[in-house]
Amino acid sequence: MEAKIFEMATQQGLTAVLFVVLLWHTLKTSNERELRLQRVIDNNQVVIDNNQKIMADMVSRLDKLDSIEDAVDEIKTTLTVATTTAATRLP
């Protein structure tokens, strides 16, 4: 196909040949650039997916820490009330 187009361009003159060569080169480099960009996009998507998993794990751990903090506060409150109650019962 390319050979036939190039042959037809040579019959039309130097300008046509230069145009076809430039067009072919532009299409080829554009295709290569598009493939590189697609690889970059795919790699970035992998990074984004990994970051989302890490963030979800961090949120889960933060929720666990919050529940531990609430439990510790509840224990402190219970101990404070028990200590205060015991101190008031002493003669």
One digit per residue, the tens of pLDDT, for the chain of length 91 reads 778 877 787 788 888 888 888 999 999 999 999 999 999 999 999 999 999 999 999 999 999 999 999 999 999 999 888 787 766 765 6
Task: Name the token pair of 79.
Answer: 């101990």
Q: What is the pLDDT of residue 51?
A: 97
Q: What is the pLDDT of residue 15?
A: 86
Q: What is the pLDDT of residue 34?
A: 98
Handedness of CA 13, 19, 22, 23 (dihedral sign): negative
Q: What is the pLDDT of residue 25?
A: 95
